[in-house]
Structure 1
Amino acid sequence: MSYQKNMSNNYPTKKLGEVCDFQNGLWTGKKPPFVTASVVRNTNFKNNDGTLNLGDVAEIEVEEKQLKNRLLEEGDLILERSGGGPTQPVGRVVYFDADGKFSFSNFTTRIRVRNSKELDSVYLWRCLNYLYLSGVTEKMQKQTTGIRNLNFSEYKELQIPLQPLAEQKKIVARLEGLLGKIKEAKQLRAEAGEAAQNLLPAELHRIFTQQHSNILQNVGMSDSRSKEKWEEKELGEVFVFHYGKGLPRPERSESGKYIVYGANGELGRSDRYLIDGEGIIVGRKGSAGEVTRATGRYWPTDVTYFITKDKKYDIGFAYYLFKFLNFPQYAVGVKPGINRKEIYGIKIPLPSVAEQKKIVARLDSLSEKIKNLREYQTQTRSDFIALEQSVLSKSFQHS
């Protein structure tokens, strides 16, 4: 491995198996006496940052004699030996520093440093976490029946660079500072993402719950001279919810020209279409109440309602109004469904079509900005991962 070759040129190394002791985990006991134990599982591994989330630790009955040798101490590392997923290799490592008595599951292994005067446990944790994030340990896994397993014999052969202990602690301190700043930045990104998600609902609420006699100037979409008031109508006075129509599976094709809509959006494609023109699809059964905007030619299936263009309303305004009305709250039944007669009586605010178009222009612009922000959020997520790997790489390859 290139990483280990680079390190061996600067510092002496030892195999992981030479500097640490290992203990496999436990699970439900078979022979009494039993005791209740708090057991850390793979699900307690928080993301891929090497920390623990102890919010849902398993409480299970284990054999008392098995537990004695499997209690965690501060500074222990817990290695994921089995698990992983389609996009998550097995081999994550977490650092244990919690108060209280905890053990660890049979899908994990405890790693304990033998000599703390030779090897700092936090330094080792960062080192092993770097090897995981850089893909070194991914080559050591094998897969059986959908579960990834780590080749533990090979894992113990990993070469660990052994700088003087004081140097190890300097590396740890430097990493804690840099990774702490990255963590803060990631938290800010997450908060910004949550705020972006709430922007449209907040604006819909502001627009459709106007006060002061429903005067449009109160939401910033008419000048101060406008005194046009919004009408109050029942939903069924303005909109006609048509039933979608079933489309046999043989008539659907992945290469079809037109979109087939189900209750929760695009369901498939077909060379047949039922509607030609702008419309709104509303889930009738299953994902009842979900709202999708449709254009061109398409086929709304029999688990949907749909509306089409009408001189009473702008189709874009209908979309945003339906999103605001939160139709899913009206769904009932084991397989949730919405009866159009039940929602036709909902009171709705209705401005003129001209004003509707102004509202749609504003909300379309906001939606586009939110979309761009989400795309940027996705990009920065990848950037943060790369930055973490870069920081770790420089610490262990060029320290």
Structure 2
Amino acid sequence: MNDRENVALSELLATDFDGTWGKEAEANEGTPVIRSTNMRGGRLDLSTASRRVLSRDTVARKKLLAGDILVNKSSGSAHLVGASVLFDHEGDEDYVCSNFIRCLRADRTRIDSEYLYLALQSPQFKEQVFGAQRTTSGLRNLKISEFKNGVLPLPPKTEQHRIVRRVTECLSQVEEIAILRENLIKEGDALLPSMLNETFVSLEASYKTAEIGELALETRYGTSSKCDYDETNTPVLRIPNVARGFVNFCNLKYCGLSNSDLEKLALRQGDLLFVRTNGSRDLVGRCAVFDGGTNDTYAFASYLIRVRLDTQKMRPEFLAFFLNSTRGRVELDQRRRTSAGQYNINSTNLRSIAVPTPPLSVQDEVVEELESRQSTVSALQVAHTETSSQESALRDAILRKAFAGEL
């Protein structure tokens, strides 16, 4: 890439503009609007674009063309601000982007759209414009004028096309690895419930069942008091702290609770925590056993339900495994309700779920065996997840070489 010049992004655009939002449309009506949630990992998913009521004039001015580049302007996460995707859809239906997205349209007399898109992904460009972020009301925002001041190498069009072909060839191999890894993780997610199901189908055939309400000492909702990051207060577990069958202590928030509230809400080892409401159907009913943590005292938030079992009747780990099995998920799914776009399960419905009740000695044997299987599956998933950072580093290395003239 010897025959090149460095040119500001602003000089390489035919136009650029913010998207729009409009009013909510009826199902299958209105104009599809692309949001940042449709832009993940450099991929554009049009299947979940939101449909909005927009005027013909607005659609005519804002409609996207194949080759447009969509840049995320605002997010609570720094790494998502400035993230972009290439709009390559060609069809009868017009799409627009939301007001949180900036559309960049290349001046194709000077620069190829795909070359421009790849150049925006390069570490060299990102290093220039990372400082173009501003924070307001907890959100990070992209300052467009500074973003457009970033400079890009501009070789002749024939060289641009060669670079696009070479980078696309290299990145496609990385993408194949990423897809394989994602599929293996999904298979792992499906494998454990299936293994659990075999166990509990057998147990149901051999032992009586009892409802959770008969096995529980109490069920309780958590605190609805506002939480913050003041670590002098009591740590409060929330929905993100109940994931993949375990309680984690990441990104904790804290709440100043009275002694009487703390007496009711303090968690004990062996308490089961359930997600009771969420916009995602699959997350509602997700559960895990609280095993202590590093603090003396933890409380829990209102979107969780705590079930405290009579451990002389039921081991909490046994119940958690049952509810994470295919059979348990069916029971939870039958009890979920939806309201205002949120899925919910209440304590009454939760208490009505019937569970096989073998002797405690059998429960302990089952838990030991299932924990061993769970550890194996989790270790495989962790190993595959860790390769994600290696894939990201490989992408960056390819792009850095390409736009340094070394590929």
- Which digits, 9 at most, give the CA deviation of each residue in 1:291-347, with x for residues without a partner? 54355798999964422443x766644543454445645758897433499638x36
The change in CA–CA distance for 1:164 and 1:256 in structure 2 (over 3 A counts) is: closer
Query: Corresponding residue for 2:207?
Result: 232
1:124 alignment partner, SS class: helix
1:119 alignment partner, SS class: coil
- Which digits, 9 at most, give the CA deviation of each residue in 1:260-308, with x for residues without a partner? 9999768989998999997453659879966543557989999644224
Query: Corresponding residue for 2:217?
Result: 242
Compute the TM-score of the two structures, normalised by the length of structure 2: 0.68
The change in CA–CA distance for 1:290 and 1:379 in structure 2 (over 3 A counts) is: closer
Query: Corresponding residue for 2:86?
Result: 95
Gaps of 5+ in 2: 23-28, 279-283
**Residues in 2 aligned to 1:254 and 1:152: alpha-carbon distance in whole angstroms:** 36
Question: Larger RCO: Structure 1 or Structure 2 (Cα < 8 Å, ≥ 6 residues apart)?
Answer: 2
Query: Corresponding residue for 1:381?
Result: 388
The change in CA–CA distance for 1:97 and 1:313 in structure 2 (over 3 A counts) is: closer
The change in CA–CA distance for 1:272 and 1:375 in structure 2 (over 3 A counts) is: farther
Q: How do 1:55-70 residues align onto structure 2 when only pairs under 5 Å count? A: 55-62=48-55, 64=57, 67-70=59-62
Letter in 2 for 1:200: L
Query: Corresponding residue for 1:225?
Result: none
Is 1:193 the counterpart of 2:185? The answer is yes
Compute the TM-score of the two structures, normalised by the length of structure 1: 0.69
Which has the larger Rg? 1
Query: Corresponding residue for 1:86?
Result: 77
**Residues in 2 aligned to 1:13 and 1:83: alpha-carbon distance in whole angstroms:** 27
The change in CA–CA distance for 1:365 and 1:17 in structure 2 (over 3 A counts) is: same
Query: Corresponding residue for 2:4?
Result: 11
The change in CA–CA distance for 1:179 and 1:306 in structure 2 (over 3 A counts) is: same
Query: Corresponding residue for 1:24?
Result: 17
**Residues in 2 aligned to 1:37 and 1:318: alpha-carbon distance in whole angstroms:** 46
**Aligned residues with identical type, % of pairs:** 20
Is 1:343 the counterpart of 2:335? The answer is no
Gaps of 5+ in 1: 1-6, 30-35, 215-228
The worse-fitting range, judged by mean Cα deviation, of 266-275 and 16-25 is 266-275
The change in CA–CA distance for 1:238 and 1:231 in structure 2 (over 3 A counts) is: farther
The worse-fitting range, judged by mean Cα deviation, of 233-242 and 373-382 is 233-242
| Match 1:293 to one of 271, 289, 292 | 289
Q: CA deviation at 1:131?
A: 5.0
| Match 1:307 to one of 298, 309, 321 | 309
The change in CA–CA distance for 1:136 and 1:89 in structure 2 (over 3 A counts) is: farther
Letter in 2 for 1:343: S
The worse-fitting range, judged by mean Cα deviation, of 90-99 and 363-372 is 90-99
Contact kept in structure 1, 2:215 and 2:314, CA below 8 Å: no
- Which digits, 9 at most, give the CA deviation of each residue in 1:30-84, with x for residues without a partner? xxxxxx98464443652141646354154432352x554544333233344x323
**Residues in 2 aligned to 1:182 and 1:319: alpha-carbon distance in whole angstroms:** 37
Q: CA deviation at 1:200?
A: 2.0
